Structure 1
Amino acid sequence: MDLRLVRAFVAIAHEGSISGAARQLGYSQPAITQQLKDLEHLVGRRLFDRSSTAVTLTSAGRDRLALAELMLVLERRLLLGLEPARKASRVGAPR
């Protein structure tokens, strides 16, 4: 699974709007909208109800939000955990 889709989902949920999520993530609004559509296609469920002023999580979206947030926490932990190993391997590596 592409974690960009997960990041978009979490950002939309936290911002309450697609445009707010786009600003937060540094993407265009159409790009975030497409990422949301792609994720909804993958999970086979609508994750948000959309109106002209806001988006709100559906029950399927609420069920998946904590898991999506956990995925992003685990990604950060994995990347932070790898950083010291990369540095250590360079220090002892032959030139």
Structure 2
Amino acid sequence: MIWLQENWIIAVVGLVVAVVLLWWLFGRSKPEDIAPTVVEPAKPAKPLEPVKPEIIAAEPARFKPIEPKPQPVAPAAPPPAPEPMTITSYSS
């Protein structure tokens, strides 16, 4: 009893480990308890059918509105030429 009073932390940890181990060993369900998964056999696939395109009736050209032509844009004026630099010599 003296050992338990001096080492109670070790005793509690050991007891917890023992309980968890017993629960893990005896608490799991057995394979026969688990219901087998039922999978329906796959139905045979139909042969591939070609995709049918959606047919959209085109409007006759006489009913389409006339789109205005874009107005020509005048080219931008070139920037003014820079003034020529003159080299001056400085004498001391």
Q: Which bracket does the TM-score occupy, shorter chain normalised?
A: under 0.3
More strand by share: 1
Instruction: Tell me which of the two structures has the higher relative contact order, counting C-alpha pairs closer than 8 angstroms and 6 or more residues apart.
Output: 1
Larger Rg: 2
